[in-house]
Amino acid sequence: MTHGGRTGTGLRGLLRMRGGGDSSQPKSLLTRVVSWLIFIGITLYFVVPLFATFLHSIKPKPNGVPDPTLAYRTVLASPNFFIGLGYSFTVGVITILISLLIIVPTAYWVRLRAPRLRPVVEFVTLLPFVIPPVVYVFGLIRTYGGKPFQLLATDTGSNVVLVCAYVILSFPYMYRAVDTGLAAIDVRSLTEASQSLGAGWTRILLRVIFPNIRTAILSGAFLTLAIVVGEFTIATYLARNQAFGPYLSLLGRTQPYTPAVVTLVSFGLTWIAMLLIAFIGRGSRTRVQVAGAR
Amino acid sequence: MADAAVVVERGALPARPARRFGLAWVGLLPFFLFSFAFIVMPTAYLVAGSLQKNDKPSLQNYADLSTGIIPLALVTSIEVSLVTAIAGGILGFLLAYAIILGGLPRFLRTGVTTFSGVASNFAGVPLALAFTFTLGHLGVLTILLQDTLGYNLYDHDFSLSGKFGLELVYLYFQIPLMLLIIAPAIDGLKKEWREASENMGASPRDYWRRVALPILTPSILGTMILLFGNAFGAQATAYQLTGGALPLATLVISAQISGDVLHNPGLGYALAMTMVGIMAVSIGIYTLLQRRAERWLRS
């Protein structure tokens, strides 16, 4: 997110040292009170469910004796929890690698050689926003479930389709992140310099372009990870029930207290991903990006 | 792929882009092939299926959209999306106004923005569960209200798995999304515009009514339309919360995937395409309005 860091200029600026564009204007008491009320009210709405989830997680009373850490210990002792996290993280990492392998050369090529195809590429990367996940997985199942592909008949085939679907879901974020990164460097000069030193395309991409857009790549990667690890709809209908999303869903329908713990874990993971993105993007104009609803 | 192009173009890098456009697309082949296989083809399958009935080309499936549960599902989906887009849009705007222009301490603004990044991504199953623990039958808040005030929510027509409950939950990602998109627009309001208004004798109210709001209107409207699409396509949250009981377009599709509940595969495809159409229109309008809004934000 870009923060308006403009400071007031001239006399007005000197008189009000609080900085910050139009926000430096002195506020009437009414504006302040109303703003505080809005802030407190909406904050309560956001904090209460999280706090309630926490309270719920420490509620178990086996044999009438309160045992606040029981649900936590149960989750930590549960193999399915780690299988789910492990599976989803693995899928996430593979997704990111494939996505980068496709998107970086594509975005690079669009900037360097095919700027006229930019609208087409952008349009294709935005398709996952237009096609809701449940509709998308519907199409995937009908296309790859039946003849001639029959990819979904095997475990491996289903995993492949899942990863490819996630790669498609990552395109809007990855393309924009990488393209923003490329905009900040002089792609043409770097390419020409590398070529005059005898570098081929693979070397240019791997040794020159990749390192120069590391920041952009990382923020795209963490956002992809945040989306993939909690994804439910596509994983469920491709029968990937070991994935973290379907696992939590089943837990929520069958267990009383442990889902609260896993919900908090899921929230914590989202926090970590977002903080990493903010940390990587500090100083640059990278905006906080948001995934679609699930 | 890039290697294929090397053979042709090595050492002949044009000074201007796109001079040798004829072969430029070759470098994009992997991207287009992958996209074709994994999003164009699946979508085309649905399109083709929706235009067939008993293996013959037909528009009957689209005509049949007016039968059974589908009209109710579409109307409910649209209603929930509309309500949460408007409510989320207003609340998100107010929150953005409060933290940017309301004279609140600076650190609150940073905190709210970061939290919004998290909350707008905190959707789906965990979100549904968090609300179940809060306002479900045995939710912490439900019990607290019962114990302290003797007020039982569920005796008063409240249900978390009903339409209102779902809308309440959706706001959890709608408000932050609004805030994140609208904050830069509010930031883009230039101090000079307000000063100019004041110099010409405008009250703060006049300034908001005649200057700030008209400038922000395309952004506000556009973002609300985006929120509409955001809620319209959501499936996981509703599925976990209602167990598929609420008639929503996404949940009808879910049921259609698991077993042909509509007793007509083509009808499922037609519903899917209708949803894609609605999404396309809302995202298209959002893009147009956002472009219009950027006129003012450029500086």
> pLDDT category, B194, cuts 50, 70, 90?
confident
CA angle A54, A59, A60 (to 5 degrees): 135
Q: How confident is the model over B43-67, as pLDDT tens digits?
A: 999 999 999 988 889 999 999 999 9
Q: Does B71 touch chain A (CB under 8 A)?
A: no
Q: Inter-chain contact B125–A131, Cβ cutoff 8 Å?
A: no
Residue A15 has a pLDDT of 32
d(CA A205, CA B12): 18
- Residue B247: per-residue pLDDT: 93
Amino acid at residue number B41: M
H-helix or E-strand containing A197? none
Measure the CA–CA gap between A105 and A294, rounded to whole angstroms: 30
Shortest CA distance to B185 belongs to which of B215, B160, B221, B147? B215
B254 touching A (Cβ < 8 Å) = yes
Contact A138, B268 (CB under 8 A): yes
Q: Which two tokens stand for residue B251?
A: 């949940």
CA distance B3 to chain A (A): 7
DSSP for B112-135 reads HHHHHHHHHH--SHHHHHHHHHHH
* Selected residues 149-208 of chain B with any CB under 8 Å from a CB in chain A: 170-173, 175-177, 180, 183-184, 187, 189-191, 194
C-alpha–C-alpha distance, residues A264 and A245, integer Å: 13
Distance CA B169, CA B176 (A): 13
Which residues in chain B are classed under CATH 1.10.3720.10? Answer: 64-297
pLDDT the model gives residue A17? 33
Tokens of A151: 């990819």
Instruction: Identify the residue whose tokens are 């780690």.
Output: A82
With a cut of 70, list the residues of chain A below it in pLDDT: 1-26, 283-294
Distance between CA B228 and CA B81 in Å, rounded? 5
The confidence score (pLDDT) of residue A41 equals: 96
pTM: 0.88
Nearest CA distance, B191 vs chain A (angstrom)? 5
Q: What is the pLDDT of residue A292?
A: 56
Rounded CA separation B169/B159 (Å): 12
pLDDT in tens, B231-275: 999 999 999 999 888 999 999 999 999 888 888 889 999 999 999
Which alpha helices (DSSP H) does chain A contain, by range? 10-15, 29-57, 70-76, 79-112, 118-130, 133-145, 155-183, 187-196, 201-203, 210-212, 214-230, 233-237, 244-254, 258-280
Residues in B touching A227 (Cβ below 8 Å): 121
- Name the CATH superfamily housing domain B64-297: MetI-like (1.10.3720.10)
Q: Report whether B250 contacts B238 (CB < 8 A).
A: yes
Q: Write out chain B residues lying below 8 Å of A245, CB-based.
A: 124-125, 236
Largest CA distance in chain B: 81
CB of B260 within 8 Å of any CB in chain A? Answer: no
Q: How much is the mean pLDDT over chain B?
A: 88
Name beta bridge partners: B56: B53
Separation CA A276–CA A225 (nearest Å): 11
Alpha-helical segments (H) within B37-135: 41-50, 60-63, 70-101, 106-121, 125-135
What is the Cα–Cα distance from B286 to B288, expressed in whole angstroms? Answer: 6
- Residue B66's CB is within 10 A of a number of other CB atoms, namely 9
pLDDT in tens, B81-112: 999 999 999 999 999 999 998 888 989 998 99
Alpha helices per DSSP H over B243-264: 249-258
Determine the 3-state secondary structure of B299 from DSSP: coil
**What domains, with CATH codes, occur in chain A?**
78-280 (1.10.3720.10)
The pLDDT value recorded for residue B205 is: 86
User: Do A136 and B46 form a contact (C-beta atoms < 8 A)?
Assistant: no
pLDDT at site B3: 41
Burial class (CB in 10 A: 0-12, 13-18, 19+), B7: exposed
| Residues of chain A neighbouring B177 (CB-CB closer than 8 A) | 290
Task: For residue B52, give the H/E element and its range.
Answer: strand B52-53
- How far is residue A280's CA from residue B272's CA, in Å, rounded to a whole number? 38
Contact criterion met (CB below 8 Å) for B125 and A230 = yes
Specify whether the CB–CB gap between B240 and B129 falls below 8 A: yes
Burial (CB < 10 A; 0-12, 13-18, 19+), residue B8, is exposed
Q: Which of A128, A53, A75, A49 is nearest to A244 (CA)?
A: A75
ipTM of the shown complex: 0.87
- Residue A51: count other Cβ atoms within 10 Å of its Cβ: 15
According to the model, what pLDDT value does residue B14 have? 46
Q: Which residues face B53 on adjacent strands?
A: B56
Which chain B residues are within 8 Å of A127, Cβ to Cβ?
35, 39-40, 43
Distance of CA B108 to the CA centre of its chain: 26
Contact between chains at A290 and B121 (C-beta distance less than 8 A): yes
